[in-house]
């Protein structure tokens, strides 16, 4: 392949090893591609000098036979991960100019394995959104367009910049974070692979917090194998996050290419709501057929509390967010708007610093946690969460993985779905239950809609069984023969 | 639960977010819409269901010695402060 930016991470590693090209060359190719794709608005901050310095170091390490898992691979980092000395905005005005004095554990793990940082990519403000339209730094464009239609589409969200960057080949992979679908839905909209691992697989230290009982980091890549490589580098126990699992991190790449003979694939009957597009249904059926052909067994399962998952999430997540975002007070970092009293300074700073969606969620969260309403809303939602997690436990007695659509529609146009917040929330109807239960979920491109847009399918696994998910995903990827370079 | 303007004002104060007078009414409508929608949970019988308070409930939390392992970076901690002086963050006067 002539264009270095089109390589997979796995192939780039081979090329670097053979000496076909250097990390500096690979990085320069990406920096040039980034300059060409500025219109996507995928990056908030580009770090070309740092990228080249890291690439040079990487080439030296390789020459000294000390190559890591991602040695010399240029990556984009969602601007929710704190990166030492490099502006980290969370897509918000309130953090503009914030330069963390420390590095998130996940990014530190990536650098330890030799990866190169191209820059920080755009996202919905504080990761709250499904379209990347709530970013203070402007909407991101999806590199894909409907056939014969020039209208700009959303890349999904909140990891929209990550998905657009990987899809357009202006990064070989990107970090994402997922609270209710923020890795999987944009991966589906942009025709790439994204996995939210089990809650606890990756450390949350240094990731700007949204809803701490749901937030998880994960990789976004163009192939299943690349996702496995990258997740292995990102994951692992971290004493700085007591919810990160002390268990060992498996070599996820070994699962890629394994036989799925006898694997039981569950189909949740509640995931077929009225009005689900026939195209999504068809893609789903095709996915099941591929798995069957490879020797898997398809079984119907029931997740009876599915219809309550969204409402549960929109109590739990805003409640946690209202508490987490209390720290943005104009005192220690970011924006400050002067006031005559401390209270007035807080109120003016937060009024100017937060966008509409973030304000909406903070207010909802504050209300459901306030005296007199806690039991009716928050405690009720926590009980529903128990029931939803219990549904999955039951289902996983009959099945080893579940297959569902990732999102109810393909990418929509920029500006659409903004009138009613609940319409926007429905984008995550298939991803939120998994998040509430803390399970791993992977989205992969399964084909195109009739108007030429990527359609994603989601594989869900048992807690800490990402390997079953990767195994099934690799089989589907091979059958789908998705043209992953189409948007480069 | 439908929120009125006064309630929105109260929540906004609890959250320390200034909301303009002309925004209160539309915001009350918007938030009421979301609350009505989440109230569908009331139809589920959750008597005797324990609340899920931890995702990692099946994982034993790791223990560590209760000792200082890090610190001493006053300068770094202060470097992002909008207003600082002599090793302190500066805020508007709080004591008369």
Whether A78 sits among the annotated catalytic residues: the reply is yes
Is residue A360 within 8 A of residue A126, CB to CB? The reply is no
On the question of pLDDT at A263 being above 90, the answer is: yes
Say which residues have a Cβ less than 8 Å from residue A187's Cβ, sequence separation at least 6. Answer: A156, A159, A163, A176, A193, A194, A220, A406, A443, A444, A445, A456
Does the beta-carbon distance from A438 to B55 stay under 8 Å?
yes
Is residue A118 within 8 A of residue A32, CB to CB? The reply is no
Helix (H, G, I), strand (E, B) or coil at A176: strand
Nearest to B92 among A332, A341, A350 (CB): A341
Residue B89 lies in a domain: no
Q: Which residue in the block uniquely carries the two structure tokens 């390789």?
A: A62
Mutate to test the interface with B, among A202, A376, A380, A424 (most CBs of B within 10 A): A380
A69 pLDDT tier (thresholds 50, 70, 90) = very high
Give the β-pairing of A74-78 and A116-121.
parallel
CB atoms closer than 10 angstroms to residue B23: 17
- pLDDT number for residue A418: 74
Q: How close does chain B come to A424, measured CA to CA in Å?
A: 12
Pairwise CA distance, residues A12 & A450, whole Å: 33
A2 pLDDT tier (thresholds 50, 70, 90) = low
Residue B92 lies in a domain: no
Helix (H, G, I), strand (E, B) or coil at A106: helix
Pairwise CA distance, residues B32 & B49, whole Å: 27
Q: Could you tell me if A385 lies within 8 Å of chain B, comparing CB atoms?
A: yes
Residue B68 lies in a domain: no
Residue B27 lies in a domain: yes
Contacts 24+ apart (CB under 8 A), A380-383: A380/A315, A380/B41, A380/B42, A380/B46, A381/A311, A381/A312, A381/A315, A381/A316, A381/A319, A381/B38, A381/B41, A382/A316, A382/B51, A382/B52, A382/B53, A383/B46, A383/B49, A383/B50, A383/B51, A383/B52
Q: Could you tell me if A308 lies within 8 Å of chain B, comparing CB atoms?
A: yes
Span A305-315, pLDDT tens digits: 999 999 999 99
**Among candidates A134, A129, A133, which has minimal Cα distance to A92?**
A134
Residue B7 lies in a domain: yes
Instruction: Kindly write down the DSSP assignment for every residue of A18-65, as one continuous string.
Output: HTSS-HHHHHHHHHHHHHHTGGG--EEEE-HHHHHHHHHHHHHHHHTT
Span A332-359, pLDDT tens digits: 999 999 999 999 999 999 999 999 999 9
Give the β-pairing of A74-78 and A173-178.
parallel
Q: Could you tell me if A426 lies within 8 Å of chain B, comparing CB atoms?
A: no
Mutate to test the interface with A, among B52, B57, B65, B73 (most CBs of A within 10 A): B52
Say which residues have a Cβ less than 8 Å from residue B22's Cβ, sequence separation at least 6. Answer: none
Does the beta-carbon distance from A387 to B12 stay under 8 Å?
no
Does the beta-carbon distance from A387 to B62 stay under 8 Å?
no
Does the beta-carbon distance from A463 to B58 stay under 8 Å?
yes
Mutate to test the interface with A, among B34, B40, B57, B75 (most CBs of A within 10 A): B34
Whether A182 sits among the annotated catalytic residues: the reply is yes
The number of domains in chain B is 1
276-305 of A, contacting B, C-beta below 8 A: 305
CA distances from A19 to A12, A24, A229, A338 (A): 10, 12, 21, 57
On the question of pLDDT at A484 being above 90, the answer is: no
Mutate to test the interface with A, among B24, B41, B60 (most CBs of A within 10 A): B41
Range of the domain at B30: 1-44
On the question of pLDDT at A283 being above 90, the answer is: yes
Which pair of structure tokens corresponds to residue B61? 């939390």
Helix (H, G, I), strand (E, B) or coil at A195: strand
Residue B25 lies in a domain: yes
Which pair of structure tokens corresponds to residue A16? 């670097």
A95 pLDDT tier (thresholds 50, 70, 90) = very high
Span A420-471, pLDDT tens digits: 777 788 889 999 999 999 999 999 999 999 999 999 999 999 999 999 999 9
How many H helices and E strands in chain A?
A: 15, 11
| CA nearest to B8 within chain A | A363
- pLDDT number for residue A1: 42
ipTM over 0.90: yes
Burial of residue A376, with CB atoms counted within 10 A of its CB: 0-12 exposed, 13-18 middle, 19 or more buried: middle
Beta bridge partners of B84: B89
Q: Which residue in the block uniquely carries the two structure tokens 């996507």?
A: A40
Give the β-pairing of A216-221 and B84-85.
unpaired
Pairwise CA distance, residues B15 & B62, whole Å: 33
Q: Could you tell me if A85 lies within 8 Å of chain B, comparing CB atoms?
A: no
Average pLDDT over residues A170-179: 98
Query: Cα A188 to the chain's mean position, in Å?
Result: 10
Span A239-255, pLDDT tens digits: 999 999 988 999 999 99
CATH code of residue B16: 1.10.20
Does the beta-carbon distance from A239 to B64 stay under 8 Å?
yes
Does the beta-carbon distance from A101 to B73 stay under 8 Å?
yes
Whether A370 sits among the annotated catalytic residues: the reply is no
Q: Which of A158, A167, A322, A435 is catalytic?
A: A158
Pairwise CA distance, residues A163 & A156, whole Å: 8
Domains within chain A, CATH numbers bracketed: 4-258 (3.90.1300.10)
Span A313-328, pLDDT tens digits: 999 999 999 999 999 9
Phi-psi region of A302 (alpha: psi -120 to 50; beta: other; left: phi over 0): beta
CB contacts of B41 in chain A (<8 Å) are: 308, 311-312, 315, 380-381, 384
Instruction: Kindly write down the DSSP assignment for every residue of A400-422, as one continuous string.
Output: SEEEEESSSSS--BTTTT-S-HH
CB contacts of B51 in chain A (<8 Å) are: 379, 382-383, 385-386
Is residue A487 within 8 A of residue A191, CB to CB? The reply is yes
On the question of pLDDT at A293 being above 70, the answer is: yes
Does the beta-carbon distance from A341 to B40 stay under 8 Å?
no
| CA nearest to A378 within chain B | B51
Q: Which residues of chain B have pLDDT under 70?
A: 57-58
Pairwise CA distance, residues B68 & B90, whole Å: 27
Phi-psi region of A481 (alpha: psi -120 to 50; beta: other; left: phi over 0): left
pTM of structure: 0.97
Nearest to B41 among A329, A344, A381 (CB): A381
Helix (H, G, I), strand (E, B) or coil at A120: strand
Say which residues have a Cβ less than 8 Å from residue A72's Cβ, sequence separation at least 6. Answer: A12, A13, A16, A22, A23, A26, A27, A55, A58, A59, A62, A114, A116
Helical spans, DSSP H, in A342-431: 342-353, 356-369, 380-398, 421-425
Pairwise CA distance, residues A240 & A151, whole Å: 45
Q: Which of A23, A28, A58, A78 is catalytic?
A: A78
Is residue B56 within 8 A of residue B33, CB to CB? The reply is no
Pairwise CA distance, residues A43 & A140, whole Å: 9
Which pair of structure tokens corresponds to residue A68? 């890591």
Span A45-65, pLDDT tens digits: 999 999 999 999 999 999 999
């Amino acid at each position: 392949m002539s264009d270095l930016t089109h390589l997979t991470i796995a192939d780039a590693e081979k090329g670097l090893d053979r000496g076909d090209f250097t990390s500096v060359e690979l990085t320069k190719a990406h920096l040039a591609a980034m300059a060409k794709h500025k219109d996507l608005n995928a990056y908030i901050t580009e770090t070309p000098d740092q990228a080249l310095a890291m690439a040079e170091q990487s080439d030296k390490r390789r020459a000294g036979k000390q190559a890591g898992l991602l040695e010399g691979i240029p990556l984009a980092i969602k601007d929710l991960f704190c990166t030492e000395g490099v502006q980290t905005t969370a897509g918000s005005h309130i953090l503009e100019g914030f330069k963390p004095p420390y590095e998130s554990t996940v990014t530190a793990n990536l650098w330890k394995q030799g990866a190169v940082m191209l820059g920080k990519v755009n996202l919905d403000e504080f990761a709250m959104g499904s379209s990347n339209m709530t970013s203070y730094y402007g909407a991101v464009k999806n590199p894909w367009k409907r056939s014969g239609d020039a209208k700009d589409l959303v890349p999904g969200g909140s990891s929209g910049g990550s998905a657009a960057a990987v899809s357009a080949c202006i990064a070989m992979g990107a970090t994402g974070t997922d609270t209710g679908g923020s890795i999987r839905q944009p991966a589906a909209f942009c025709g790439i692979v994204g996995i939210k691992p089990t809650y606890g697989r990756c450390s949350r230290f240094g990731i700007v917090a949204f809803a701490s009982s749901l937030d998880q980091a994960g990789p976004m890549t163009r192939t299943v194998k690349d996702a496995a490589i990258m997740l292995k580098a990102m994951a692992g126990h971290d004493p700085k996050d007591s919810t990160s699992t002390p268990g060992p991190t498996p070599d996820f790449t070994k699962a890629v290419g394994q036989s799925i003979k006898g694997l039981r694939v569950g189909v949740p009957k509640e995931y077929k709501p009225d009005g689900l597009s026939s195209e999504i249904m068809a893609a789903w059926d095709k996915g099941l057929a591929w798995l069957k052909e490879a020797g898997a067994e398809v079984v119907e399962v029931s997740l009876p509390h599915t219809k309550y998952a969204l409402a549960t999430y929109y109590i739990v997540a805003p409640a946690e967010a209202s508490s987490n975002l209390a720290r943005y007070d104009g005192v220690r970092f970011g924006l400050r708007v002067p006031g005559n009293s401390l209270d007035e300074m807080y109120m003016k700073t937060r009024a100017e610093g937060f966008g509409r969606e973030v304000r909406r969620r903070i207010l909802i969260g504050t209300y459901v946690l306030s005296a007199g309403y806690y039991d009716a809303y928050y405690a009720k939602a926590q009980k529903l969460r128990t029931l939803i997690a219990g549904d999955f436990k039951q289902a996983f007695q009959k099945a080893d993985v579940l297959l569902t659509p990732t999102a109810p529609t393909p990418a929509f146009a920029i500006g659409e779905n903004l009138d009613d917040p609940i319409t926007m929330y429905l984008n995550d109807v298939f991803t939120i239950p998994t998040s509430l239960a803390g399970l791993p979920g992977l989205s992969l491109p399964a084909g195109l809609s009739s108007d030429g847009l990527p359609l994603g399918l989601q594989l869900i696994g048992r807690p800490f069984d990402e390997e079953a998910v990767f195994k099934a995903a690799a089989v589907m990827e091979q059958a789908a023969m998705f043209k992953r370079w189409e948007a480069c | 639960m439908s929120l009125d303007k006064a309630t929105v004002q109260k929540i906004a104060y609890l959250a320390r977010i200034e909301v303009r007078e002309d925004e209160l009414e539309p915001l009350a409508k918007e938030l009421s819409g979301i609350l009505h929608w989440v109230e569908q949970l009331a139809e589920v019988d959750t008597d005797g269901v324990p609340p899920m308070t931890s995702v990692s409930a099946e994982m034993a939390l790791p223990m560590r010695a209760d000792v200082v392992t890090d610190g001493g970076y006053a300068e770094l901690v202060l470097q992002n402060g909008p207003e600082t002086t002599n090793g302190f963050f500066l805020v508007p006067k709080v004591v008369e």
